[in-house]
A and B are shown apart, each in its own frame.
Chain A
Amino acid sequence: MGEVVEEKKEPDSKRVHTYPLIRHSDMNDEMKTEAMELCVTACEKFSSNNETAARMIKETMDKKFGASWHAIVGEGYGFEITHEVKNLLYMFFGGNMAIMIWKCS
């Protein structure tokens, strides 16, 4: 359904994409999908409050994959983080939101 709309608008370069786009990740596929879905849920649920979204992501990830997850949700920031390998996900969502989650205990 969404595709049809997109194809009609194709010449329009200002069109906004909102699908989740994984920019960088070294997680295994299973974990990646789960984390991505979690991020999408959190951002949709707390679309107005990034902090609660980040909190939800962090707490859920802690529960599911063990302690010390960190999450950043925001529209503009810079970062330099140290993470445990296979535990990093950097994705865009909603066209203007960047979500960064990683584990480092």
Chain B
Amino acid sequence: MPAKAIGKGKQAGGASDISRRRTTRMRGDGDDMTDMGDGTDADDWMHSKALVKPEDQLDLNEQQLKEEFTRILTANNPHAPQNIVRYSFKERQYKQISSVDQLAIHFALDGNMLHKDSDEARRQMAKLGMPDAVQSEQAGSEGGEGAGAGAAEADDAKDEGKDEGRDDAATPTPAAAAGGKKLTNQFNYSERASQTYNNPYRERGTATEPPPRATFSGSVTQWEIFDAYNEDFEKQVNKQQIIMLFVYLSEYVFLCGFQSDDVTRIANASQIVERMVNQNTYDDIAQDFKYWDDPSDEYRENEGTLLPLWRFTFEKAKKLAVTSLCWNPKYKDLYAVSFGSYDFMKQGNGMILFYSLKNPSYPEFIYETDSGLMCLDVHPDHPYLVVVGYYDGSVGVFNIECKEPVHRCTAKNGKHTDPVWQVRWQKDDLENNHNFYSISSDGRIVQWTIIKNELIYQDVIQLTLPEAPAEGPDGTKVSTVGCGTAFDFHKRNDYMFLVGTEEGKIHTCSKAYSSQFLDTNLAHNMAVYQVRWNPWHPDIYITCSADWTVKIWEVSQKTTVDTNPENTQNVSNRKALFTFDLNNSVGDVAWAPYSSTVFAAVTADGKVFVYDLNINKYEPLCEQMVAVKKKTKLTHIEFNPVYPIIIVGDDRGNVTSLKLSPNLKKMPKEKKGQPAMDPAQREQLEIAKLDKLLNMVREPTEGSKPPAATEKK
């Protein structure tokens, strides 16, 4: 290390000598040698470094500077500790260590220079190729010369050691370091500049919409002003008169009704006003109802449409399903709707509403019940009597005058144990007592008679299944019962009625025989939802079922009761005259009152199908989506007995009225010049019409007396 320092010092010293010489040469006069900081213009760049003196440097004169101090440099580190003691395991005691590490490294620098003649350098040069080799040679020569100079002057180190300290600090210029032979190029530099990124400009503009404007023009003349005033004045006078009239009317009402209580005295008047308002509101629908007939029907042979008229909804009934519909026999615009729920899990209250076509916005009568209603029937002769069947199995009779049922059966007197699916008024009995029938899924068909404010019941038929009684839990025999879901009474043969069951069977029954059926027909694969006699033809009935089909049947020819139990118990599996697949569960089916061949059905996917067998035996004339929302199921349908409209109920409490287009209500044409047909003639015609159709589909052997074998399949 000391050697190194000396070498360096020598180099620097040599350089400073040279520069000094040069300066001297250029100036031409021997100036003060120590004053190196004082440079001329030419040397300015060389002496850019100011000579820095430590503040506490002694100020020595020439004499003092020339004085020699001898220092002996040893290799001993003066700071190395001399008294290190270590435990010696050999001698089992602490011993002073004699050899102390004297090495102290103050500065270390790994060099990367190679001697160009060394093997390593040759190899590298060969590797880099010729041009590089030349460069490196030059660099090498430079370095070598530098090194050489250093080496050469190393000999003089002792002689010039005196000047060393001073010159070393005074001339640290790079030119001097390069040995003076080669000057670095002052202009060999690269300039670097960078420019900041210019952000792209972006324009964005919006134009506001100008305030809307309008033009207005006119002219002012005295006569126009005069006319305007007169017109306005007349209007005012008229208005005043109307107001006077109203005041007068209300006073009149007040005077007339001052005895009765507040609400009822204006009930009638308000009802009239309500209807007037409705007539105004639904004027277009009323016009449609009265006059509109789809004109395009003339150009379509076998198609028809349904025109939606009023939609009847009631806030409280919105969550209930329409469970039955019944037109009032006296007022042709009035009908009754029963509300309940078909969902076993969501049973709640029920409701009866009476709607009139004249007031589609609000029901005429409202009756709320504690249990859901499943069916209702309005008495054909006494329209104020309404019989209802409850979900809890009871039946009740409402008088329109009273909010509560006038009769209701209880568990003590014959209540059904399952929901009552259908009720139907019958002709008064011989003692002129009102009576009705009910059918329930507990298998009983019960006749109810109202005798002196009492409801007397009598089981008519117990539906049974032919299967052996099931085993009860404790070994007792539990007879399986059939589940009645629908029935219909024959129009003319008073005693005869049809019963539809949940098993899909249709029983033909007689009121007179409670133990057995006249006939049993395995009609459907799933529950029968509705069974109805044809209004014209005595032997035809229609059924609909959850198995997606509507079927038309003919009552077997054997009208007499076969006492042979085999025959009655045997389930015949006849073929339906017609079968229609409606692609969804069929909730209800109804014959049109005006034609023997027209019927309509509703399905659970919200469609109404109207068929006229006379026109098309296979396809519906009309298949129309009636439900407003996708998932709404249509539950029931009923034809108005007079007007060409149908009402359709759904499971959200809506009842929709629809007008049938002309193609759907085709009746036999009346010949011109002839008097209108009398009812008997008409009936004959209708029966003939249907028979003609039936002959085509009847089994060929059925022309004569049909043997039982052919009837059974």
Contact = CB atoms under 8 A, between A and B. Distances in A.
Given A76-B222, A79-B218, A84 B213 contact: yes
B215 A23 contact: no
A21 interface: yes
A48 to B, nearest CB: 18
Interface stretch (B224-232, B296-304, B440-448, B503-511): B224-232
A24 interface: yes
Contacts of B99: none
Contacts of B3: none
Given A17-B233, A92-B228, A24 B222 contact: no
Contacts of B215: 80-83
B216 A23 contact: no
Contacts of A43: none
9 contacts: A75-B220, A79-B216, A79-B220, A80-B215, A80-B216, A83-B213, A84-B211, A85-B211, A97-B225
Interface in B200-236: 211-222, 225-226, 228-230, 232-233
B216 A76 contact: no
Interface in B479-531: none
A88 to B, nearest CB: 6
A98 interface: yes
Contact of A76 (B212, B213, B220, B226): B220
A21 B219 contact: no
A104 interface: yes
Contacts of A78: 217-220
Given A21-B232, A95-B229, A76 B221 contact: yes
B228 A23 contact: yes
Contacts of B217: 78-81
A102 interface: yes
A90 B215 CA distance: 13
B222 A75 contact: yes
B220 A84 contact: no
Contact of A98 (B214, B216, B220, B232): B220
A84 B212 contact: yes
A74 to B, nearest CB: 7
A90 B229 contact: no
A96 interface: yes
B214 to A, nearest CB: 5
Interface in A62-92: 74-85, 88, 90, 92
Contact of B216 (A13, A16, A81, A95): A81
A82 B226 CA distance: 26
Interface of A: 13, 16-17, 21, 23-24, 26, 74-85, 88, 90, 92, 95-98, 100, 102, 104
A98 B225 contact: yes
Interface of B: 211-222, 225-226, 228-230, 232-233
A90 B218 contact: yes
Contacts of A26: 214
Contacts of A104: 213
B383 to A, nearest CB: 51
Given A81-B216, A84-B212, 14 more contacts: A17-B233, A21-B229, A75-B222, A76-B222, A77-B220, A78-B218, A79-B218, A79-B219, A82-B215, A83-B214, A83-B215, A84-B213, A88-B216, A90-B216
Nearest to A7: B237
A50 B509 CA distance: 98
B220 A74 contact: yes
Of all A-B residue pairs in the complex, the 8 with the closest CB atoms, nearest first, are A80-B217, A78-B219, A98-B220, A17-B229, A85-B212, A84-B211, A82-B215, A92-B225
Contacts of B230: 13, 17
Contacts of A102: 216
Contacts of A96: 222, 225
Given A78-B218, A79-B219, A85 B225 contact: no
Contacts of A76: 219-222
Contacts of A23: 228
A35 B222 CA distance: 22
Contacts of A81: 215-217
A79 B219 CA distance: 6
Contacts of A16: 229
Contact of B229 (A74, A80, A92): A92
Contacts of A85: 211-214
A16 B223 CA distance: 12
A8 to B, nearest CB: 14
Nearest to B210: A84
A76 B218 CA distance: 11
Nearest to B225: A92
A15 B587 CA distance: 73
A64 to B, nearest CB: 17
Residue among B212, B217, B220, B229 with the most chain A CB within 10 A?
B220
Contacts of A97: 225
B220 A82 contact: no
B213 A77 contact: no
A80 B219 CA distance: 8
- Specify which of B212, B213, B222, B225 lies most central, judged by the most chain A CB atoms within 10 Å of its CB: B225
Contacts of A88: 214, 216
B135 to A, nearest CB: 82
Contacts of B225: 92, 95-98
Contacts of B228: 21, 23, 92
Contacts of B219: 76-79
B244 to A, nearest CB: 13
Contact of A82 (B214, B222, B232): B214
B607 to A, nearest CB: 48
B233 to A, nearest CB: 6
B316 to A, nearest CB: 38
A58 to B, nearest CB: 17
**Central interface residue in A79, A83, A88, A98, by most chain B CB within 10 Å:** A98
B213 A82 contact: yes
A88 B215 CA distance: 10
A66 to B, nearest CB: 11
A13 to B, nearest CB: 8
A85 B219 CA distance: 20
Contacts of B222: 75-76, 96
Contacts of B214: 26, 82-83, 85, 88
Contacts of A98: 220, 225
A88 B218 CA distance: 13
A98 B226 CA distance: 11
B208 to A, nearest CB: 13
A54 to B, nearest CB: 13
Contacts of B221: 76
A97 B222 CA distance: 8
Contacts of A90: 216, 218
B229 A83 contact: no
A75 B228 CA distance: 14
A10 to B, nearest CB: 8
Contacts of B226: 95
Nearest to A77: B220
A92 B222 CA distance: 10
